[in-house]
Structure 1
Amino acid sequence: MGAKVTTAIVLYKAQTKKNGKHPAKLRVTYNRKQMYYSIDNKERVYEFTLDEFNKVIAPKPRGVFKDIKLEFSLIEDKAKKIITSMDSFSFRQFKTRFGIAGGDLTNILYYFERRITEYGDNDQWCSWAQFTTAMRTLKRYFGSNQVDFRELSAHELEKYEQWMTSQGLSMSSIGSYMAATRTIFKIAQREGAISKDFYPFGEGGYKLPSGQNIKRALKMSEIEKIYKYECEAFSPREEAKDLWLFSYLLNGANMNDIIRLKYKNINDEFITFIRRKTRRKSKSTKPISVALTDDLKRLIDKWGNKDRSSENYIFRFLNEEMTEKQIRRCLDRLIKRTNDQMKKIAKEVGIEKTVTTYTARHSFSTVLKRSGVSTEFIGESLGHNNLRTTELYLDSFEDETKKEVAKHLTAF
C-alpha cells in the first residue's frame, strides 16, 4: 500500500459543544496528512471533558470508562480492516467505506443503510424505496438489526423467499428485494468486507424469481374504455383518469416526471423533459420529446396552473419550497390515490387486469409495438438506455403474438 496508515481515537479539542465537552474522533494519518472522522452512532454520542477522556485512555480504566475504551478498540479494529482491504489508500475511499461510525462490515444491514443513504442523497427515490423495503423485510425475517452475510446461504435465501410468499408478497416484489440483496453482496465483496468465495447467487446457488411474464399492458379497446369513461367533473376519480391518460399520451411518463414538469418544458409543438430515473446515470442522456397533441393541451388547460411562467410547475402538486422528502411523500400519496381510483374505473368498464400508473407506461410501449413501430424507437421514446429494458416492457405483446401465429398453423 506504500506509506503506512495509522489510526487513533483522540479528543478533538478544535470543536467545543454547548455543554463544554469535545467530541472524540477517529484520526487517520497518511503521508503526513491527518483527517478526522466522527465515531458517534445511534446508541452513543462520544463527547468528553479532557479529564473524562484521560480516564478512558488510562492504562486501567474503570467502570463506564472501561466499556468506552473497549468500544474505541472495536471501532479502530474496523477502521484497520477497511484500510487493510484497500489496494491503495485514499481518504475519500476510506470515508465512503467507514460510513457511519463503527459500521460492522459483516452486517449486511450496515451496507443496506449506506446504500439507502446514497440513493437519498442522489434523489434516486425509486431505488431508495426498493432498498429500504428490502432491508425492513430482511430485518423482519431475522428479527434482528444484526444479520451476518454468512447467514444468507443459498438454502437460507430459499427459506426467506418462502417466508415472503407466506406473508402475501408477490413474486415481483420478492424478486425486487432479492435483487437489492444481491447488489449489496456485490458491493461488500468489491470492498473486501466478505470473501468472493461466498456468493449465494448465480450458478448452483439461489436464483431470483422472475416476474417478467406479468401482463401489464392494455389493449387498444381497453384504453378506449378509459378514455371515454365519464365521471363527475374535477372529482378525485376524474383527476386520476386524466393523470393516467396524460401519462399514457406523454410516452408513458411516470408520475415522478409528470409532477416535476414546468412550463419551460413546453413549446408550440413539443413537451421535452429528461427522466429523473436516468439523468444521473449518463452524461449523454437524451431528452424525451413528445408531440403536443390536442389531448395533452386539453388536459393541461383543464388541470394546469393558470400562471404559465416558465419556472412554474404545470400541475399544482409541488411548489419550490418543498424538500425532496416532501416531494416524495406527495408523489407516494398521488400514486396511491390514482391507483385506487383507476382500479375502480377498470372494474366499472369491465377491464379484468389491474390498472395502475405503471400500466400506462406498458400500454404506451405495447400499442406502438403492435402498430409496427421499431423496438429502437420505442426504447428512445421511453428514455431507455438499452434495448433489453425495452424488450421486457414488450413481453406481454410477444406472448399474444405467439398465440396468433400458432392459429395460422392450422388455418386450412
Structure 2
Amino acid sequence: MLDRQKMNAKHECPVVLKLVQGRRRCFIPLALKVKWEDWNFKKSLLKEKRGTLEEKIEQQKGNLYLESEVLKIKKILLDFTMMEEDYTLEEVVKSYQYPTSTGGYVYDYMRNIVDSLEKLGKNGNSNVYRGTMGVLQNFHPEQDLTFEGINYSFIKNFEIYLQRKGCKVNTISLYLRTLRSVYNRAIRDGIVAEEYYPFKKITIRKEKTMKRAIYKEEIAAIRDLNISSCRMGLARDIFLFSFYMRGMSFKDIAFLSVSSIVGERLYYSRQKTAQKLNIKITDKAWEIIRKYNDLSDRTSYIFPLIQYPGKNEYHQYKNAYREVNRRLKLIGTMLHFHFPLTTYVARHSWASIAKRSGIPISVISEGLGHDSERTTQIYLDSFENNVLDAANEIITDF
C-alpha cells in the first residue's frame, strides 16, 4: 500500500508492505515511491498506462519488484507454517530484513535449517537434520558440495555407503528422506533450480517395523513386579502412568507441571504438535502422581525427570528418556519379554488394547492426540496372528 502520510511535494508516496496479525499490524518500507494517481488500489500495483517504451519498462520493473517482495513474505509465512510453530510479526519482519544466504552450498544451508529449528524449540527435528548432515559429511567431506552436485549417482552411492556401514533399511530411509526435504526447501528458496531435482527416479524403501504392543496381562506383570530400586521404580511408574493416561508420550510426561492439573483433569499441549488435550486423571494415575509430588508448588514439574528447570531442559529430558528406557529394558528382561520394553510400548499398547476391545479407530486417534486416523493405524497392531488363526478356524470349520 501507499504511505500517504509521507507524501512529498511531487505527490509521491513510499510503498510499504502492511502485515496484520490479529489486532496487531506493522509496515515494511520498500525501495519504491509512486505518485498517488499512478497507483492501482484494487491490484496494489502500479497502473498499466500508455506512455513511452521506457515508461512502460519502468512500470513493469516496479510491479515485478513489488510482486517479488510479496512473494518473499509469503515464502517466510509458508516456512513458519511448515515448522508448525506460532510466530510473531517481529519474527516475520526479521526473516524478511535479514535473510540467510548460503551461496548454494549444501552444508551451510543445512546448518541454517538446524539453527532455525533450534531457535523455534524444534530440538527433535534439528537433531535429525544435524545427524543427517554429519553422516553426509562423512560420505562427502568436501565443504563446497552444491545442490547441483547432488545428482542421481550421488544419492545411489550415498545409499550404498550407508548399507556398507551396516545401517538398517529404515535408518537409510530417514537419511534419504531428510536429504530430500532439504533439497525441496532449497528449491523453494531459489537456491537451486527445480530442473536439478534428483529424487524423481529414487525410490526410498521403508520396512514395516515390528509392532510394539503388549497385552493387559503383561501390563499387570510390570505393575506387580517386586522392585527395590527407586530409579527402576520410577521407570516402571512412568511406563504405567503413560498407559493409564491414554498412552501419553514420555516427552509430554516429562514437561507436565502441577499447574496442568485442574480439578480431576490434566490439561496440556502436546510437545510434538502443540495440540491441546485434556484427560481425566484415573485413580491409578493419581496414586503415581502423589507418590512423586505433593502438588504444593504449582510451578514444579510433576515428575523428577527434569531436575534443574530452566537449565538446558531439552538435554535433561533426553538424558531422562535414555535412562528410563534403559531401566525398562532391564524390567523386560526380568519378566522374560522377548522384545525391548520402552516407554513407546505403553503408548502402542494402549492403542492396540483399545482396538482389541472394539473401540473405533476414530476414538483411539483422538485419544492419542493424532491429527489423522492414518497416523493412528501405524500404532495399532495388525490383528495378531493368533487372532487371525482363530478367525480362520471359525471360517473354515464346516
The TM-score, its normalising length taken from structure 2, stands at 0.72
Structure-2 residue corresponding to 1:31: 32
Name stretches of at least 5 consecutive residues in structure 1 with no aligned partner: 1-27, 33-83, 280-284
Deviations 1:333-370 (A, max 9, x none): 11111111111111121111122222222112111111
1:336–1:318 distance in 2 versus 1, CA, 3 Å: closer
User: How far off its partner does 1:102 sit?
Assistant: 5.2
Of 363, 371, 382 in structure 1, the residue corresponding to residue 349 of structure 2 is: 363
Alignment partner of 1:330 is 2:316? yes
Map of 2:61 onto structure 1: none
Give the whole-Å Cα distance in 2 for the aligned partners of 1:209 and 1:132: 22
Given that residues 128 and 178 in structure 2 are in contact (C-alpha distance below 8 angstroms), is that contact kept between their aligned partners in structure 1?
Answer: yes
Distance verdict in 2 for CA 1:264–1:226, change over 3 Å: same
C-alpha separation between the residues in 2 aligned to 1:319 and 1:231? 23
- 1:59 corresponding residue in structure 2: none
Q: Structure 1 residue 198: deviation in Å?
A: 2.7
State yes or no: 1:216 paired with 2:216: no
1:258-297 equivalence runs, <5 A: 258-279=253-274, 285=275, 287-297=276-286
Alignment of 1:227 with 2:223, yes or no, is yes
1:392 is aligned with what amino acid?
Answer: I
- Equivalent of 1:244 in 239, 245, 250: 239
| 1:288–1:382 contact (8 Å) kept in structure 2 | no
Corresponding residue of 1:376: 362
Deviation per CA, 1:261-303, whole angstroms, max 9, x where unpaired? 1122123422221101111xxxxx4x22222112111111112
Structure 1 match to 2:130: 132
In structure 2, how many angstroms separate the alpha carbons of the residues matched to 1:391 and 1:411? Answer: 31
Instruction: Specify the alignment match of 2:304 in structure 1.
Output: 316
Q: 1:176 aligns with which of 168, 171, 174?
A: 174
Please, what TM-score do these two structures have when normalized by structure 1? Answer: 0.70
Confirm or deny: 8 A CA contact 2:212 2:349 kept in the other structure: yes
* Residue from 129, 138, 141 that aligns with 2:139: 141
Sort the Cα spacing of 1:211 and 1:270 in 2 relative to 1 into closer, same or farther, 3 A.
farther
- Report the Cα offset of residue 118 of structure 1: 1.9
Instruction: Sort the Cα spacing of 1:98 and 1:314 in 2 relative to 1 into closer, same or farther, 3 A.
Output: same
* Cα 1:404/1:88, change in 2 over 3 Å: farther
Q: CA contact under 8 A between 1:343 and 1:356: conserved in structure 2?
A: yes
Quick one: higher RCO (CA 8 Å, sep 6+), 1 or 2? 1
Structure 2 unaligned runs (5+)? 1-28, 34-63, 77-92
Distance 1:227 1:307, change over 3 A: closer
**Residue aligning to 1:206:** 202
Aligned residue in 2 for 1:7: none
Distance 2:337 2:300 in 1: 37
Shift in Å, 1:233: 4.7
Residues 12-51 of structure 1: pairs in structure 2 closer than 5 A? 30-31=31-32
The whole-number CA distance in structure 1 between the counterparts of 2:318 and 2:205 is 26
Check the 8 A contact 2:260/2:266 in 1, yes or no. Answer: yes
Q: Distance in 1 between matches of 2:283 and 2:246?
A: 15
User: How far does residue 307 in structure 1 lie from its aligned partner after superposition?
Assistant: 4.6
Cα offset, 1:181, TM superposition: 1.3
Give CA-to-partner distance per residue, 1:243-264, whole Å, 9 cap, x none: 1111222222222211211122
Residue 401 of structure 1: CA displacement? 5.4
RMSD: 3.0
